[in-house]
Amino acid sequence: MAPQLFIPVSANVLGTIGTIFWCVQLVPQVVRNYRTKSTEGLPAAMMFLWSISGVPFGVYAIVQNFNIPIQIQPQFFCALCLMSWAQCLRYQHKWRIWTTTLLASVLAIVFAGIELLLVFIIRRPYRRGLSWPVTFIGVLAAVLLIVGYVPIPSELWKRRGRVVGIDFGFLTIDWFGAFFSLMALVAQHTFDILGGVMYAACAAIEAMIFLSQGIWLLRTRKIRQRAKEAEMTWEEFPEAQAWQEKRWRLSWSRDRIQARKADKPSKGIVDEESVYGMKELGDIEQPKEAINRHGKGCD
C-alpha cells in the first residue's frame, strides 16, 4: 500500500482523540500498581511484548505517513508499557528500584535507536516501490500486539473469569483509544488494513475481558452478597475461596480421565449384592450367568 499523500481533517481530529486516550491509557494501571505495591494478575510478559511492539508500529506509522497523532501514539505506548513492565519486575520479582529504572531507561533508548534506524533504512526503498519490508514491519507489530494478550486467558482461567490486577480504567481508555484510532484510519482516503487489524483486535480483546468480568460478577452475585453480610472480602470468605478453587476443567483433562477409569467396573465382574439389589428395584433382570459364577443356583 502506498503512503498517504493527503490526510483529511476528520482523520487528524479522530487520530488526535485516539492519541490523547492512548497517551494516558496506562496511567491508571501505573498508579494502581504503585498504590497497591502489587502487579498480581498483570502479566509482565504482556507489558514487555507491548513495549517491543511499539517499535515496529512506530516505524510502520511513520513510513506510511499516517496522520501525525497516530505517528506519535507508538512512542507514548512504548514508554508507558516499559514503565508498567518495570513495576512488574519490582513488585512481582522483587528487583531493586534502581535496577528496574536503569533497565527500562536503557531499553527505551535502544528501542528509539532501532526505530530511527529502521525508518531511515526502509523509507527510501518504500518510496521507490519496494513494499515488502513495510508489510513485514506492520505484520510484526500486529503479531507482537496480539501475542501480548496471550497470558490474559490463562489468568482468567485460573480465576474462573475474574479479572485481577488489570485496572478497568486502563482498559476503558485503551478501548476508546483503539476505537478512535481505527476511525481515523477509516476517515483517510485509503484504509490501511494492517493498522486497522491492530486497532480492531485490541478493541475486541479488551471487550472480551470486560465480558469475562461481567459473567464472573453475575455468577458470584449470591456468594459476594453473603460475604458482604459477613463483612468479609472475597479473599477472606471461605465459601468464595472454595468456589474459586473449583477451577474449570475440560472434559478430556487427565484428572477426569483417571477418575472415570477408577470408577468404571472391570469387564465381566458382577457384584452379587448389587445384582440382587437391582433386581429388587426392578431395574434389570437377574443375570443367571453372573450368579452361577459365584456358586449359587437360580430358580
Nearest one of 38, 53, 15 to 185, comparing CA atoms: 15
Q: What is the reported pLDDT for 190?
A: 78
Cβ count near 257 (within 10 Å): 11
Q: Does residue 108 carry a pLDDT above 90? A: yes
Express each pLDDT in 78-88 by its tens digit.
999 999 999 99
Do 18 and 77 meet the contact criterion of CB atoms below 8 Å apart?
A: no
CA 217/CA 276 separation, integer angstroms: 49
Do 29 and 170 meet the contact criterion of CB atoms below 8 Å apart?
A: yes
CA 49/CA 16 separation, integer angstroms: 25
Express each pLDDT in 210-263 by its tens digit.
999 999 999 999 999 999 999 898 888 899 888 888 765 544 445 555 555 555
C-alpha cell at position 131: 513494499
Q: What is the reported pLDDT for 258?
A: 59
Express each pLDDT in 140-179 by its tens digit.
988 998 898 888 888 888 888 889 889 999 999 989 988 9
CA 179/CA 203 separation, integer angstroms: 7
Q: 156-167 b/e with 16+ CB inside 10 Å = b?
A: beebbbbbebbb
CA 75/CA 284 separation, integer angstroms: 74
Query: Residue 8: CB partners within 8 Å, gap ≥ 6?
Result: 187, 188, 189
The mean per-residue pLDDT over the stretch 268-284 comes to 45
Torsion on CA atoms 197, 170, 25, 111, rounded to nearest 10? -70
Structure pTM?
A: 0.71
Q: How far is CA 113 from the centre of its chain?
A: 29
Least confident of 103-117, 121-135, 243-257: 243-257
How far is the first Cα of the chain from the last one, in angstroms, to the nearest whole number? Answer: 89
